[in-house]
Each structure stands twice: as structure tokens, then as C-alpha cells.
Chains A and B, each alone.
Chain A
Amino acid sequence: MSVLEQFHDWLAVYVPDWAAYLIPGVVGIAILFAFVMVVVMYFIYIERRGLGRFQIRQGPNRAGPQGILQPIADAIKILLKEDIIPARGDRLVHWLAPVVTFVPALMIFAVIPWGHGAILADLNIGILYIVAISSLGVVGVFMAGWSSSNKYSLLGAMRDIAQMVSYEVPLVLSIVGVLMVTGSLSMVSIVEAQSVPFILLQPLAFIIFFIAALAEINRSPFDLLEAESEIVAGFHTEYSGMKFGLFMFAEYTHAFAVCCILTTLFLSGWKGPLLPAALWFMIKAVLVFVGLVWIRSTLPRLRVDQLMEFAWKFLFPLALVNIFVTGVEIIIWPAFPWWLIFVNIPIAAILIVLWSSMFRVHGEKVSLRHFGWGIAKGLALTLRHLFRHPITVQYPEQRLTVSKRARGQRFVRDERKRAPCVLACPASVDAQGYVAMITQGRFIEAVELIRDTNPFPVVCGRVCTHPCEKACNRGCMDQPVSIRDLKRFITDYEMSVGRGEIAPYPRTREEMVAIVGSGPGGLTAARDLARMGYGVTVFEALPMAGGMMAVGIPEYRLPKAVLQKEIEGIERLGVEIRLNSPVGKNGLTLESLQQQGYEAILLAIGAHDSMKLDIPGEDLEGVYHGVSFLRDVSLGKPVKVGNKIAIVGGGNVAIDAARTALRLGAKEVFIVYRRSRQEMPADEEEIEDAEAEDVKIHYLAAPVRVLGEGGKVVGLECIRMELGEPDASGRRRPIPVEGSEFALDIDMLIPAIGQATDLTCLPEGHTVNITRRGTFDVDPLSPVTNMPGVFACGDAVSGPATVVEAIGAGAKAAVAIDRYLRGEEIELAEEVMPLKEVAFEDMDISDVEKGERPKMPHLSVRDSVRGFEEVNLGFSAETAIAEANRCLNCGFCAWCRQCEDACPYGVIKIVPQQTPEGETGVERFDIDLGECIFCGLCIEACPAHRLYLTRIYEAATYRRGELLLDKESLMPFPAAQPSAYARPEIEPALPKQSLLLDRNRSVE
């Protein structure tokens, strides 16, 4: 007696008879419905999870432990989704279709025996009922396909009908075998009849039933009606929301039903030892379902014609044969004893092999002779993978030596720190930048980078006093980087390959500027003003442009041809240079210039007068002042030198004069200097070179009197000095030693103790303020004289200085003139720009190997003193690159904008730091990550490796654990405090790293 009947009997005592029938029925249906729904939901979970594991993935694992709540999440989601009906679809049929599909699938469960007596309705035609009900589902599918107004849907529906009708036949015929043995259509009887499961007694029927059932429930490899890769989603292409959900539910309900039927028919239903009957039933049903999942994970899909042929030509005949064989067996052994297992299994195997050897798909093309062998191998492989570790969980564990990715804005720096070399340079040349470029072999770009602030790289590459090298942090470690010689190398390289086209700057402003003097300061100002768009004319008194660069520095240090080429380049940029046009003579005066329309005049006249010794005999023949001596030699004037020459002074002019005199044929050259070598203002290298060329230097000696004979110099009387207290300049003051006079035997004297500015350009009775030292008196913050529109810069302001200082002064003068002409405040911001340098102590140099700087190749002394050939020969490319690599890269972003130029999409932008004083540095790199393609060209372009060395930003490449654009790692020392410039409001906008991408997360 079934459970429901007992319930009825009990109820009948208390309620009317009709109610006693109705109540157990309703309660039973409700319980069964709820049970089936829950099981089906977990069938979906088993399928997803199982497929995942067969495919070495994890499958759903996020909702609840082991993803156990995933079906509920799915159900909630699908209930909330929008329901869409195609505009030209049949609304009513479209609505009805899922219901028509779902209800029959559910109705099957009425006759499923869950246990002994646990059945809703033990119909005596149970199996017939199932066959009849389950074939109703096809109507729903066709309704869906028809009402969707979609060709894919229609194709799917057509396929479904053909498939259902075809596979129903072998399915039913295979059941016939079972029924013949049982002799009953009741599901309960069928179970009870199985003392031995029918899978063993009726193996052929089982196989046919299983395959046909797969097709009936549209499981792989017969899932043609919703074949995604072919017809998108088949009959439910146009379904969404809960209606789609119903289809999905119907499908899995159907699958569950088929598992139950299979369990009942072939696996002896609820029967089993020890465990409760219902549990045995469920275990079997679930195992069958896992088998379905396994097959789905392994097999591709048949084609529609192959599917039909398989049903009609393979399964159908076999099913008939099975009925025949079963019938014969029943006639011979009516009791169908258990040992028929050993008969029927071989028969099944033989029949399958025989039949498949005759079976052809599509005429004759493919033989299924080995039916099942290839499939079995595939199944074995997927089964093996079921027990492998899912690859999707490897990712968080994997420790790749590549970066993690993070995106968003990052700040590059929060302090105004720059490399000391850049700060030391009066012309603000980006030494760090061009040295870094040299390491990459980008020589031409490096020269252009210098030209940006310094129009005379060829000059500075040779004669610069290189304050940058004195500041170089590398000097604290071993020796400073040979920045000047590197500059020399790249300019030589540029000359060897030829400089490209030089296009003149466009003239954008009407105002004209006159510049007096074509020295480094004047020409720099001229170039910069031309770049700003002004018309610029340079007036040069001498027949040669270049000022002291041309007439002060001897040929062997700075070849004239090289210099003139550089000046030509400036001329081509749109600067007019008028030679032999001394202002203050021939009617060319400041007033006349202003009348000609020059609204601003820059006096960059330098210091071309020599200071006098102020000792007796200075007017004798044979006394030649240093500056004039060098100038006359440079201009090619005939200069006669004596055999024995004394030079007075310790500056570069003295050394230059000495070495020039040697080259002109002097036998013996002395330098007389009143302090010791330590105090000598000339460059160390220059002194060494001079000594190498046999110039004798008398230290601590001062001239007292020039000895003359017949109006000519014959000797120099000097006095010994000793060093006393430091004076205002910080050097120790020389004090004459009484009675220590001595005489030098000479025939020529070149005093080179200092230079003065020649102020003859100013008109008589001018009102320009002049300092006590004879230089222009300008505003401390800007090069403005007290005469309106007249500016001054360079040596004429500061007294004799270096080329690079003059260049820096020229650049500032240009800015001041620009402001003046625009009517703005002229005051310059430079003085109030508190940039700090990166200190050596703050740097991490633990991985830097020590190494000396290379020696500059020289002409031999013998060769060099013979003529005016250039003494220093320059580096080779290899030496230059090796030397450049010694740079510690201590600064931050060099602001060279190479990254901006390299970007194919123009995505990276350097954002300057805006302060009240203007743009004082680089605040950050902005990268529009919507457009950045992460190609990494900006990283490669960055000469300072700044982009490359940062560690968080995925600007492009984020390789080998070294990420990009992070402020902390961009700084050469770790930031102890959080940055004052950090912007917390930007941080939350960064996407959180997902678990799968976070490869550096360790799983211990």
C-alpha cells in the first residue's frame, strides 16, 4: 500500500470521502513539485560544476560555499530580467510555449516510484503514460519556434520535431524488450521484476534507450535544436527572462525525468542494500545525470542528416532485433533466468559491432566501424581531467615574475628635486636627459635636447667649465660623469652625419630687437627671441661673429669652422648678424637703433678690454695684452712672438695665451701667478695640458717691473709671494715677501690678469649706470639698465665669466625682453625657484659598480704644439655610451617630452607643476587610459628610464616586476611620509584587482 493510500485511509475517518481523495492528492503534488524543483535546480548546479571540472575549470564557486547557492542566485536573476517579445511574434503562443513545454515534463513524475509505495499514482499503464506525456513537449518547442518570428527559432523548432519523432521510435521499441520480460506496464511492477537490473539482462535495450533518451532531451551530441554555434540558440533565441528560465527548467526537468525512468527501467529503481530506498533511487538518478554531463563535456555535435540516419538506420533496426532476440529468449526460457546476462551482453556487443560495420553516414564517407572506440578514448581523457586541479585556481597561486596591473593616475613627484647637474648649469641644460639619451644611442636627439636651452652645444662640449660635473653625484662615489666630453661626442657625431634641415622660426611678432655683440650671451638671446617670434638683428663690431668664443678661445680648443657652423645654424633660424658694425662708431648709436625701430636693445658686449698690470714698463714694445693677443691671432693678424715669453695671470686666458704662444713658435713660455696652483682659476685640465706642453708656471710670484732695453722688453722682475688670510673672494691673499725679487729673462710679456668691458658703444654723456668695476649696473633680478628699452647681459654685467654663464644670462635676457615688449612685469622668476637637488646621501647606489671615467684621447704633445689642430680628439661611440651609463640618473623626469612624441595615440601628457612662480617641474604623467593601448613606446622613449623604473602603473609594459609611473619608485629614495600631493579622491577610482589577476598574491 502506498503512502498516499495510507494517508487517504486515515483522512477518510475525519472528512468526507471526496476530500479524503483530494487532500492527499494535492499535498502529494505539492510535495513532489517542490522536491522536483529543488532537485532540478541542483541538477543545473551539478551540470555547471561538473562541466567545469571536466574542463579543468572550477565552475560556479562564488555564491555560497562551493557555489552551492548559485541556482538560487540564477533563479533570482532570471526572474528580474526583462521579458522581450519580438514585435512581429505571436504574443499568445509565445507566452504559452514555455508552459506547454514545462508542464508535460513535470507530469512524468506522477508515475515515478521513489521507493516502495512512494509514488503519486501507480498507474497500470505507467510507462505508456510517460511515453505519451513526454512527446507533448515537442509541441511547446514548435510553438516557441513558430511564434518567435525568427528564422533561427524556426530552424531549431523544425529540427526538434524531426528529431523527437525519429528518436521516439527506437526509444519506445527499446522499452518493449523490458516490457516483454516484465509483462507489466506499471512502473512499480517493472522495478519489482528486477532481481537483476535490466541493464545487464537487456543491455542492448539499455544502450538504445540511453542514446535515444539523450536525443529526446536534446543533450549533447544531439543538441541540434539549440545548437549555439549554428543557429544561435534555436527555438529559444527570442526568449528572455523567466520564459527562458521555464524552458531551461523544462529541459532539466525532462533530463531529471529521463534519469528517473532509466533508473526505474534498467537500474532496478529504488532497490539496493542498507540505504533507504529513496536514497538509492536518487543516487542512481544523479549518477546517470553525471554520465550525461560527462558525455556533454566530451562529444561534438552530429549534423542534422547524420542524426536522422543514426536514428533510422542504426538504432531502429537494432531495437527491432532486440525485440526479436528477447522474444526468442522468452519462448525458450519463460522465466528469463539471471544467467541470460552472459548470453545477452555478448549478443549486444556482437550486434553493435556487426551493425556499425555496415553503417554508413552520408552514403559511404565515414565508417563507424570502430563505433565507440574514439569516443571512449575521449571519454577516458575527460574523465582523467575531472581529477586534475582546475587551472582557474592556479592563477592566484602562480607566482609569475611579471607585474601586477594597476591603472589610474599616479603622481610622479611631490618635491621639486632635480638632478644636481641640471641645477648647476647656468644655462639649465638637461644634462641628465641627454646623458640618458646617449646610453640609448639617441645622439641626434640628445644634441637637440641641449639646443633647446643652449644654442652652442659644440662650444660647450669643448670649452665649458662644466659646473655640472662638479655637482655630479657620481663624484661622491668615484669620479663624476664626463658630461662635457659626452656633449662633445654627440656634437661631433652630429657633424659627422650632418645636421638636418633648419627651418627658420616663424615671425609672429612685429617688434624688432637689436642685440649688440654676437658672443654667446648675445646670440643666445637672439636665438631665443627669434624663437619667440621677434625680428632680431645682431650688431657685431669684429669681422667675425662669436665674440669671445671666436676671438678669445684658441683654435686648438675650439676650431673656428665648428663654431661658425653653429652660428650659421642660428642665422638660418632667422637671426640677422651684421658684422663690422660697431655700435658707438660710424653714426651707429643706441639712439639711431631706436630710431630704426628696434624697440629693445640688448647690450651683450662682453669684456674685451684687458686689465692693466699697472707696473712700470708696461708700455714697452713686446708687451701684448692677453685678450688682444688671442684676438689678433684668431682674426689672422700677423702676430710676432718672441722666443721667451712670460705670461702673467692664472686664468684660462693666461693658459690659452701660453699655449697659443708655443704654437706660434715661442721657445720657452713661463706663466707667472701670484698664488699657488690650488687657487688658480684656470681649469685643472687646461693647466695639466699646458704643463704637458712644457709651459713653466712660477707660482707665488708677481711681476714688479718690466725690464726694457731700447724700448723693448728684455726681462721681468718678479717678487715672491706668500699666502695670507682669505680675502673677500675666499682665496688667500698673496703677500709679497720682502727682498725676494728675482728676474726672468724674456723678450715678450703677455699680461692676462683680467678683462674689462669696452664701454665705447655708449654715447658721450650717456646716463646709463655703470658699476665701480666698469660693468653695466642692472637690476639684481633682471637685466634691465636704467635706460628704458636697454638691457645688458653677460660679461658686460657680471665681469669676465664663462661661456655657459653668458648663455644662461642671454636666455634670461630674452625672457626679460619678451616681457618688456609685451608690457608685463619684467622681474624674472628664476631667483625665487627653490628647486632642491637630489643629494648623494639620499640615493640607493647599492647595485652600482664603481668605475673610473675614461681618458679623453689627446694629440701627442709633439703633434699638438706644432699647430693649431684640436688637441682633444673626442670619444668613440662605445666609450661615450659606456661613460653615459655611469650616470646615476639621480633626477626625476627630465621633462624632455620624448614620451609625448613617441605615443602613437597622443595619450600621455606631462602635467607641469603649477605654482605661483609658474611651471616649476613635472607633477605627474596623465595617461588617458581609455585610449592608451599599452604599447610601451613611451617607456622606451624615456631617456631617464623614469617611466620604466616606476613600479605600479601599467602605462604600457609592466615587465619583470618593474612597473611604471609610481611616485615612490620614481624617486631615487623611498618616501618616508605620505605625499603631501597625494590625491586620495583619485585612488578609489582605481579598479580593484580581481582575484584572478592578482598573481602576486600568495596562497600559503
Chain B
Amino acid sequence: MTLDTEQVVINMGPQHPSTHGVFRMRVTFDGEVILDMEPVFGYLHRGIEKLAEHKTYLQNMPYTDRLDYLASMSNNMAYAMAVEKLAGIEVPERAEYIRIIMAELMRISSHLVGVGALFNDMGAFMTPFLYMYREREKILDLFEMVCGQRLTYNYMRFGGVSHDLPEEFIPTLKRFIDEMPGYIDEYDQLLAENEIVLARSKGVGILPADKAINASVSGPVLRGSGVKWDLRKMDPYSIYDRFDFEIPTGTVGDVYDRYRVRVEEMRQSVRIVRQAMEQIPAGEVRTRVPTPLKPPPGETYVSIEAPKGELGFYLVSDGSAKPYRFKIRAPSLLNLTVLRDLVVGWKLADAIVTFGSIDVCMGEVDR
């Protein structure tokens, strides 16, 4: 007797619990095995790049919050740095330190979400996710202290940050920084050696280093593949050259490596924040900048190491108060391009976990 089999095409997404927003995978299955996968995105397209051409430079700042909405501070910082370079604005020392603290806290927060969601995808019923959200809440409390917001911060300004740190910020931050390594140990106790986690992630979704580089992948996904590339070290922007930290890398480039890189990066970010907290000088937090800001005609590209990878802003000014061109290099989008190669030949459940390990934010992919 021969079995009459057929390939099955399933549209996973845009409404699906594990698509991290509105991503859609059009997957062809042979049973549970993936024969082909076609990524479809654009469901969250809002035309931010075009909209930005009709807003003043400062009015665009809240829009950057809405790119990778899990890392608004980093988006703010990259955009502020781009405009500062375009207009030749100096940033006061204290503001630089505040920015570093915010960016690194943001990295921790973003990785907490990324890792927590990865384990949700892996079927751990919310527990790692909720444990990590507990710490993320503390970071959000810190952000709320400085800017009043918990998601879309809109905190950075051209020439600094919008407000100075409140008095109680540093003690709260210190408490958090002291506690955080212990919490990271807890996550490791729960997950790092769990046999089911190992079975689900080791050797799954391997991204070789050469392929990663060819695909312009960046951030933890690239470092998970063993490429030691981090803009904070390779092209130190802001004042990153003053801090002592390591770049964690993986070896194989599988889901497990990417997960470990994120956890280690959290530890490194804690180190950076601690140093920044100890060194932070007193002083101004914002250079006075004319409003509306009219940068001289010209163009610029500034990129930073955002939690998800290299986040770049390419701006063209025609001397008016609004950018002539506003282009975003979104790390999530470029990281997502390797997904098909990683999942073909693997099982349905692997596709979900691999996608989760890339940690994209659809707000940034589609903009």
C-alpha cells in the first residue's frame, strides 16, 4: 500500500501567536518538515520615512520611538546623534553619560523581552517571560522617572537629553544594577542547562559566520555566529571608549548561541551602566539648540549598536527645518533576511524558535 501524501501550505501569520507582531511566513510543509518558507511583511508599514520629510527635525523624534518600540531610547539616541552630526551640535559630558546609561538599560530591557519571548515560542508557559518582565518593569520605572514614559520615551534631544536625572534616579539605578546579575543567574538556573531547552535550541537554525556577514546581519545574531563585531568597540561612538566591557560571541551560530549572547550582553551592559553611573559628572544635560533647528545643507549617516543590531539614520538636509530625506537602516529587517535559509529542512516548531531567536521588532522591519 502506498500512502498518497500532499504538501501543505500554511500561512503562519500575520495573525499568529508567535509572529512577534504582524509577520507572516508562508510555509510549505511535508508533514511537519518545512520545504519552503516565504517571508511576507509590510503589514505594519506606516510610511515613517516619508512622513518624516513633512515634520520638523524635533517632531520626528517621537516617530523614532515607534520604530523598534522595545528599544526607543536607542532609536532616540541614533537619531539625535545623526542630527547632531548634521548640524554640528556638541553634547555636554553629562548628557553623554545619561545617554549611555539609557542605551544600555534599553539593551537589557530589549534582550529581556527578546529572550523571554524566545522561550515563550519554545513553549515554556510564560514563566521565563514573566520573570524577565519583572526586571524589565524596573528598567521601565527608571525610564519613567527620567522622562515620564514607559514605552515611547522621546527622551533624547539634539544636544543632549530632555531632562536631567531626578535625584532619586541614581540610588534606584544602583539598587537595580546590584540586583540584576543575581536575576540573570536565576534565568540561567531556569533555562541555561535545561535539557529540553538544549534539545530545542542546540544545533537548530545554524547561521554560519560567512553567511551572516554576507547577509549584512548585525547585532546578537551576528555575534552568535562567532563574529566579534560590535560598533561600540569597532567604531566607538559617544563615549563608549571610556568603558571596560567585553563582546560576547557564540561559536556555532545556532539558536542557543544567540540566546547565550543576549544573556551575556545583559551582563556586559550591567557593567557599562555601573561604570557610567560611577563616572557621571555634574553639569548641563542639554546644549541650547535653536528651534526650529535648521541644519546646514548636507547629508550624514550615523549608526549605533542598538540592541537588535546596527541601527543607522541617513539624513539629508536642504537647509530647511524639515529633513529632505530620512532613511533608517533597521537591523531587524536585515537580520530577518536570513530566516528562510535557517528554517528550510527543519520542523515547524524549529521555524518558530529560529524566528524568535532572531528577535525582530516588526515596528522597525516595516516602519
Q: How far is the CA of A296 from the CA of B130 in the complex (A)?
A: 14
Answer yes or no: B5 CB below 8 A from chain A CBs. no
Nearest CB of chain A from residue B6's CB, rounded to whole Å: 11
Within 8 A of A (CB), among B149-164: 149, 152, 154, 162-163
Which single residue of chain A is at the shortest CB-CB distance from B10? A151
- The listed residue (B62, B134, B202) touching A366 by CB distance below 8 A is B202
Within 8 A of A (CB), among B174-194: 186, 189-194
A378: B residues at CB distance < 8 A? 189-191, 194
- From B118-126, B260-268, B274-282, B310-318, give the one contacting chain A: B118-126
- The listed residue (B125, B137, B149, B194) touching A296 by CB distance below 8 A is B125
- From A185-193, A297-305, A593-601, give the one contacting chain B: A297-305
Number of interface residues of A (CB under 8 A): 70
Q: Is A937 in contact with B154, judged by CB distance below 8 angstroms?
A: yes
Answer yes or no: B44 CB below 8 A from chain A CBs. no
- From B53-61, B107-115, B217-225, give the one contacting chain A: B53-61
- The listed residue (A151, A155, A391, A956) touching B134 by CB distance below 8 A is A391
Which single residue of chain B is at the shortest CB-CB distance from A959? B148
Q: Is B348 in contact with A374, judged by CB distance below 8 angstroms?
A: no
Q: Please indicate which of the listed interface residues B125, B137, B144, B348 has the most CB atoms of chain A within 10 Å of its own CB.
A: B125
A368: B residues at CB distance < 8 A? 195, 199
Answer yes or no: A637 CB below 8 A from chain B CBs. no
Nearest CB of chain B from residue A105's CB, rounded to whole Å: 22
Contacts A229-B120, A391-B137 given; does A934 touch B152 at CB 8 Å: yes
Q: How far is the CA of A925 from the CA of B351 in the complex (A)?
A: 51
Answer yes or no: B196 CB below 8 A from chain A CBs. yes
Within 8 A of B (CB), among A300-325: 300-306
Q: Is B62 in contact with A937, judged by CB distance below 8 angstroms?
A: yes
Answer yes or no: A358 CB below 8 A from chain B CBs. no
**CB 8 Å contact bits of A195-222 with B (1 = contact, 0 = none):** 0000000000000000000000000110
Q: How far is the CA of A304 from the CA of B162 in the complex (A)?
A: 52
Answer yes or no: B141 CB below 8 A from chain A CBs. yes
Q: Is A381 in contact with B186, judged by CB distance below 8 angstroms?
A: yes
Q: Is B120 in contact with A303, judged by CB distance below 8 angstroms?
A: no
Q: Is A904 in contact with B55, judged by CB distance below 8 angstroms?
A: yes
B189: A residues at CB distance < 8 A? 377-378, 380-381
Contacts A300-B124, A957-B148 given; does A375 touch B348 at CB 8 Å: no
Q: Is B193 in contact with A957, judged by CB distance below 8 angstroms?
A: no
- The listed residue (A299, A401, A903, A904) touching B196 by CB distance below 8 A is A299
Which single residue of chain B is at the shortest CB-CB distance from A962? B148
Answer yes or no: B333 CB below 8 A from chain A CBs. no
Nearest CB of chain A from residue B365's CB, rounded to whole Å: 19
Q: Is A960 in contact with B59, judged by CB distance below 8 angstroms?
A: no
Q: Is A365 in contact with B203, judged by CB distance below 8 angstroms?
A: yes
- The listed residue (A306, A377, A937) touching B59 by CB distance below 8 A is A937
Q: Is B202 in contact with A401, judged by CB distance below 8 angstroms?
A: no
Within 8 A of B (CB), among A279-307: 296-306
Answer yes or no: A228 CB below 8 A from chain B CBs. yes
B148: A residues at CB distance < 8 A? 402-403, 936, 956-960
Q: Is A445 in contact with B291, judged by CB distance below 8 angstroms?
A: yes
Q: Is B199 in contact with A401, judged by CB distance below 8 angstroms?
A: no
Answer yes or no: A782 CB below 8 A from chain B CBs. no
Q: Is B124 in contact with A904, judged by CB distance below 8 angstroms?
A: no
A402: B residues at CB distance < 8 A? 141, 144-145, 148
Which single residue of chain A is at the shortest CB-CB distance from B65? A935
Answer yes or no: A382 CB below 8 A from chain B CBs. yes
- From A49-57, A64-72, A508-516, give the one contacting chain B: A49-57
Q: How far is the CA of A960 from the CA of B146 in the complex (A)?
A: 8
Answer yes or no: B63 CB below 8 A from chain A CBs. yes
Nearest CB of chain B from residue A218's CB, rounded to whole Å: 12
Q: Is B162 in contact with A374, judged by CB distance below 8 angstroms?
A: no
Which single residue of chain A is at the shortest CB-CB distance from B196? A300
Answer yes or no: B298 CB below 8 A from chain A CBs. no
Q: How far is the CA of A302 from the CA of B5 in the complex (A)?
A: 25
Answer yes or no: B241 CB below 8 A from chain A CBs. no
Q: Is B349 in contact with A298, judged by CB distance below 8 angstroms?
A: no
- The listed residue (A306, A380, A935) touching B199 by CB distance below 8 A is A306
B162: A residues at CB distance < 8 A? 936, 940
- The listed residue (A51, A227, A441) touching B123 by CB distance below 8 A is A227
- The listed residue (A56, A232, A304) touching B16 by CB distance below 8 A is A232
Nearest CB of chain B from residue A723's CB, rounded to whole Å: 52
A110: B residues at CB distance < 8 A? none
Answer yes or no: B237 CB below 8 A from chain A CBs. no
A442: B residues at CB distance < 8 A? 290-291
A297: B residues at CB distance < 8 A? 125, 127
Contacts A155-B10, A230-B18 known; list 8 others, CB within 8 Å.
A220-B123, A223-B123, A378-B194, A445-B291, A904-B60, A937-B62, A958-B148, A959-B147
Q: What would 21 A/B residue contacts be, using CB atoms closer than 8 Å? A: A55-B126, A151-B8, A228-B17, A300-B197, A301-B349, A305-B32, A374-B195, A377-B190, A378-B189, A378-B190, A378-B191, A391-B134, A442-B290, A903-B59, A904-B60, A935-B62, A936-B154, A937-B61, A956-B148, A958-B148, A959-B147
